């Protein structure tokens, strides 16, 4: 876990930044604070902490409460993330902290691999594909954190470009962590509900078997489902807690704190209609950190070197265009899956309501009624998973337009 002494709502963190001063042609130390705790000069003595940090009283109170909301992550990372706060004068320590979390995410990814294997052996295809999606999400998190770690290790020059880049990449990683955490939370809730329903099914099947109106196979199938779900829960709960601790620490809380982790906002379908990779590419090229560095890199004073630099930048821009279209297609695919899951859920909800009526009038058995409950629970989980997948796809596209996407052709995590 991140091992730092300074956390949210405790001590403001002083960072020493060396900024390049063109006029003097020398490095001048500057002090920057993660957040300003008190007045630094007489003119500020009448200002509240919110005013000192450039926030409204309402916005600052929201950041300082015990709620971790998705739409606050950028500001929480900016003001309270320990690694970003120490990025300049203690970047070696910050890099080590991020590496520790990367290793923990790798361990969590290994757990997801084991769960996927377990689900596959149980022929639980829904869970199998959910776990495979989590593995992909972990790969994205690890990659973003690796990029953040690399950025933190670079010398700061020309103001604080590197720290802004590292902050952006850390925010991106934290948002991925939160989406993954909520996905695992949904899976855990679903598995608990499936255990409960299958235990009820076991009891009903046993009663019917004793009455001679059912076969023992129904009981054994329900028992197998319970055992499979409980095995997955054991591993899933540990991974969920590990992610929770990482998530809250990335946002400035102490590891043993218990902030309320909010829900991921529902995906904005209307926003998808406004996406256009052919026009959004202009912003993506202008914002991309790799392309910015490429454009700003000085080439040798020869025509050949200049042409090689132009060619390299053009190749990277072409790769970014391809990447943005891939991410856009991923959004469209996730939207289609979400809409299909929504239809399936609504159908299962209608069947469940009908089953309530049928059970009251005695036209279906308790076993059949529980079966409808199992189907409804599964469809509800599939809808939530599809919703989170769509949220992630939209975020990845928007993040690419904002400049935070790899275009080196290597999408694998180290």
Tokens describing residue 90: 């203690």
3-class DSSP assignment, residue 29: strand
pTM, 2 dp: 0.68
Same domain, 5 and 149: yes
The domain total for the chain is: 2
pLDDT tens digit at each of 414 positions of the chain: 223 323 343 332 222 222 222 322 222 333 333 577 777 677 778 888 888 888 999 999 999 999 999 999 999 988 888 777 665 345 445 666 777 888 888 888 898 888 888 888 888 887 888 788 888 888 888 888 887 777 665 544 444 566 777 788 888 889 989 999 999 999 899 899 888 888 888 888 777 777 766 667 778 888 888 888 888 888 888 889 999 999 999 998 988 899 999 999 999 999 999 999 999 999 999 888 778 776 665 555 544 444 445 557 788 889 999 999 999 999 999 999 999 999 999 999 999 999 999 999 989 888 888 889 989 999 999 999 999 999 999 999 999 999 888 776 444 444
Same domain, 8 and 41: yes
**Distance between CA 177 and CA 174 in Å, rounded?**
5
Full residue range of the structural domain in which residue 244 is found:
1-264
Tokens describing residue 75: 């500001």
Same domain, 29 and 77: yes
- Domain end, chosen from 247, 264, 281, is at 264
- Domain end, chosen from 231, 264, 297, is at 264
Same domain, 46 and 175: yes
Same domain, 185 and 59: yes
Same domain, 193 and 282: no
CA–CA–CA angle 163, 167, 171 (5° rounding): 175
Same domain, 228 and 333: no
Query: What is 379-409 written as a DSSP string?
Result: HHHHHHHHHHHHHHHHHHHHHHHTT----SS
- 39 and 45 in contact (C-beta within 8 Å)? yes
The CB density around residue 356, as the number of other CB atoms within 10 Å, is 12
- Domain end, chosen from 264, 296, 323, is at 264
Same domain, 304 and 324: yes
Same domain, 226 and 108: yes
Same domain, 253 and 307: no
Tokens describing residue 390: 């769509």
**Distance between CA 275 and CA 156 in Å, rounded?**
34
Same domain, 6 and 136: yes
Same domain, 185 and 157: yes
Tokens describing residue 164: 């802004």
In a 13 Å sphere around the CA of 274, the CA atoms on its Cβ side amount to: 7
Residue tagged 């957040």 (tokens)? 35
């Amino acid at each position: 876990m991140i091992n730092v002494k300074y956390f949210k709502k405790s001590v403001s963190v002083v960072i020493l930044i060396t900024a390049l001063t063109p006029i003097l042609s020398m490095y001048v130390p500057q002090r920057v604070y993660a957040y300003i705790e008190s007045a630094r000069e007489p003119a500020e003595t009448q200002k509240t902490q919110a005013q000192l940090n450039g926030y409204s009283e309402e916005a600052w109170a929201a950041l300082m409460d015990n709620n971790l909301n998705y739409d606050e992550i950028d500001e929480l990372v900016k003001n309270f993330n320990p690694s970003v706060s120490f990025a300049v004068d203690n970047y070696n320590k910050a890099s080590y902290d991020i590496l520790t979390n990367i290793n923990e995410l790798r361990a969590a990814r290994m757990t997801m691999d084991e769960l996927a294997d377990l689900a596959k052996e149980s022929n639980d295809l829904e869970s199998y594909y959910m776990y495979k999606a989590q593995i992909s999400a972990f790969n994205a998190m690890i990659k973003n954190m690796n990029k953040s770690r690399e950025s933190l290790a670079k010398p700061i020059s020309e103001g604080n470009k590197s720290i802004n880049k590292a902050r952006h990449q850390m925010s991106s990683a934290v948002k991925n962590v939160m989406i993954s955490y909520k996905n695992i939370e949904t899976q855990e809730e679903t598995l608990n509900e499936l255990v409960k329903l299958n235990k009820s099914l076991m009891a009903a099947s046993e009663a019917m078997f004793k009455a001679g109106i059912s076969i023992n196979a129904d009981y054994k199938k329900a028992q197998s489902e319970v055992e499979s779900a409980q095995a997955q829960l054991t591993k899933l709960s540990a991974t969920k807690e590990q992610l929770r601790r990482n998530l809250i620490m990335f946002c400035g809380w102490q590891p043993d704190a218990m902030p309320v982790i909010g829900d991921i906002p529902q995906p904005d379908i209307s926003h998808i209609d406004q996406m256009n990779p052919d026009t959004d590419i202009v912003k993506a090229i202008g914002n991309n950190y790799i392309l910015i560095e490429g454009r700003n890199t000085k080439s040798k004073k020869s025509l050949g070197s200049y042409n090689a630099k132009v060619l390299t930048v053009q190749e990277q821009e072409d790769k970014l265009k391809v990447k943005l279209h891939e991410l856009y297609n991923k959004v469209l695919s996730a939207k289609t899956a979400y809409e299909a899951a929504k239809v399936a859920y609504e159908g299962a909800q209608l069947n469940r309501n009908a089953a309530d009526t049928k059970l009251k009038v005695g036209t279906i058995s308790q076993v059949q009624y529980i079966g409808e409950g199992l189907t409804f629970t599964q469809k509800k989980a599939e809808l939530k998973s599809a919703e989170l997948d769509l949220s992630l796809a939209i975020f990845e596209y928007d993040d690419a337009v904002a400049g935070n996407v790899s275009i080196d052709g290597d999408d694998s995590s180290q």
